[in-house]
Amino acid sequence: MGKGKFFTGQPVFNQILSFIPRFKVAQLAKKHNADRYCKKFRAYDHLVTMLYSTYHQCNSLREVITGMQASGSRLKHFGICSTPRRSTLADANLRRPAKLFEELYHQLRTHFYGSLPDSRSSAMGLDRLFIIDSTLVKLFSSIMQSPGTYCSNGRKKGGVKAHVILNAQQDTPCFVCIEEGKSADSPFLKQVHLPPGSIVVMDKGYRNFEQFIRFTNSQVSWVTRLHERSHYKQIGENTLTQQDNDNGVQSDLIIELGSPDLTYRTPIQKVRLIHYFDPIGNRTFKFITNNFQLDPKEVADIYRKRWQIEIFFKRLKQNFQLHSFLGDNENAIRIQLWCAFIADMLIKVIQTRVSKVKRWSMANLTSFIRIHLGTYINIFQFLKNPEKALLNYQNPNQQQPALFPP
């Protein structure tokens, strides 16, 4: 096969791995003693193997190992010298700390997107908007307990929950916390630390008045829906314009949120309560926020953008194998989840770099990478001009062998 100008000496998978600085993996492996008692299958080899499994959506250890064995000489391009055995991979998923993969994800996120914005002079746009929500991944065993009741046979399937803070502009999680499925949502807000001037939106499952006060003191605006059991008292009302009424805003109230009987634990706070009617769904929503400068219609639009994180969860579960796991222990489940987040972020980086030339959806881009993971073609040249890259992939002057030679 001849080499055209779109031909590269590295497979697509190796080009993706080049986005991961190997020295960061080595530093984290030393920090967590991840390579202790390991002769061959080290932390980087483990990462490459799990990413290979993630992109190929492998269901079992046998699929991962046999697929890598069929790669042959490509393994050297991947950065590993030999194919691990099934028992070696299973032991690594059990013993190597999942904290290594967790810190690697957050370091890669900072490496590609930088730290959180801290300038309060910019307008409150998508770069200031952060969305908080969680998703539940069901397990076929009770390794990690899930919410809900037990079945009639006394058994209950397990579940793992991922709490995510999504940056609306970058469409990537800036912070992820993986816990048992039975964990509540509201305690997660204690781990949320955003720069002043940010806007955070969440559903009413994250009702935590103490953290709402902390956000207000940190100059962070929050938007959520009013919980049915929340206690409040109206103390004023803002005047609405005719444009507000035409946009579906029914009222803009000033309330005192909190119960007078619990002021010793949670002080009463002054917030806005906005009644908004959605003509499409024929429903009335009650939004509360500590921001008194935003228009009431803008508050409703900000909460509507919360649906973006639901699309992210759907993308993560559809594009990567989260229906079955390569280990029956909590550490293996956490490692596979973190590798799914890393794989999604690497594809998002590729999509961002080619978006100025050609728009690719995440679904099509992930499918292309899964099919051409071992293909020797420049991924960026292909994404910019797929037809031209594939036409030059093979040398047209090369004579193809006959299917049935004489």
Check residue 41 and report its DSSP letter: -
User: What percent of the chain stands above pLDDT 90?
Assistant: 55
Domains identified in the chain, total number: 2
Tell me, yes or no, whether 284 and 358 share the same domain.
Answer: no
pLDDT recorded at residue 149? 53
Number of Cβ within a 10 Å radius of residue 147:
13
Residue type for position 140: F
Who contacts 209 (Cβ-Cβ below 8 Å, separation ≥6)?
257, 258, 266, 269
CA–CA distances in Å: residue 142 to residues 153, 158, 327, 328, 375: 14, 4, 13, 10, 40
Tell me, yes or no, whether 280 and 360 share the same domain.
Answer: no
Mean pLDDT of the chain: 85
pLDDT recorded at residue 264? 79
CA–CA distances in Å: residue 22 to residues 29, 42, 48, 55, 357: 11, 12, 11, 19, 29
Tell me, yes or no, whether 26 and 86 share the same domain.
Answer: yes
Please report whether residue 27 resides in a domain.
yes
* Residues 204 and 227: beta-carbon distance below 8 Å: yes
Strand, coil or helix: 339? helix
Residues 288 and 224: their CA atoms lie apart, in Å, by 6
pLDDT recorded at residue 11? 86
DSSP string, 272-317: EEEEEEETTTTEEEEEEES-SSS-HHHHHHHHHTTHHHHHHHHHHH
pLDDT recorded at residue 152? 54
Please report whether residue 79 resides in a domain.
yes
Please report whether residue 207 resides in a domain.
no
Is this structure's pTM higher than 0.85?
yes
pLDDT tens by residue, 330-388: 999 999 999 999 999 999 999 988 887 778 888 889 998 998 888 888 888 888 887 77
Q: Which helix (H) or strand (E) holds 382?
A: helix 379-384
Please report whether residue 218 resides in a domain.
no
pLDDT tens by residue, 52-84: 999 999 999 999 999 888 877 677 777 777 788
pLDDT recorded at residue 151? 56
Please report whether residue 403 resides in a domain.
no
pLDDT recorded at residue 156? 61
pLDDT recorded at residue 355? 80
Give the residue from 308, 347, 341, 348 showing the smallest Cα distance to 322: 341
pLDDT recorded at residue 391? 66
Please report whether residue 338 resides in a domain.
yes
Tell me, yes or no, whether 289 and 331 share the same domain.
Answer: no
Q: What domain range is 20 assigned to?
A: 12-101+326-391
Domain C-terminal end among 296, 313, 334: 296
pLDDT category of residue 159 using cuts at 50, 70 and 90: confident
Please report whether residue 155 resides in a domain.
no
Please report whether residue 273 resides in a domain.
yes
Tell me, yes or no, whether 91 and 25 share the same domain.
Answer: yes
pLDDT recorded at residue 135? 93
Residues 273 and 255: their CA atoms lie apart, in Å, by 7
Long-range contacts at 97-101 (CB < 8 A, ≥ 24 apart): 97/32, 97/34, 97/331, 98/331, 98/334, 98/335, 98/338, 99/32, 100/28, 100/29, 100/31, 100/32, 100/34, 100/43, 101/47, 101/50, 101/334, 101/335, 101/338, 101/339, 101/342
pLDDT recorded at residue 303? 94
Residues in the chain: 406
Domain C-terminal end among 247, 276, 296: 296
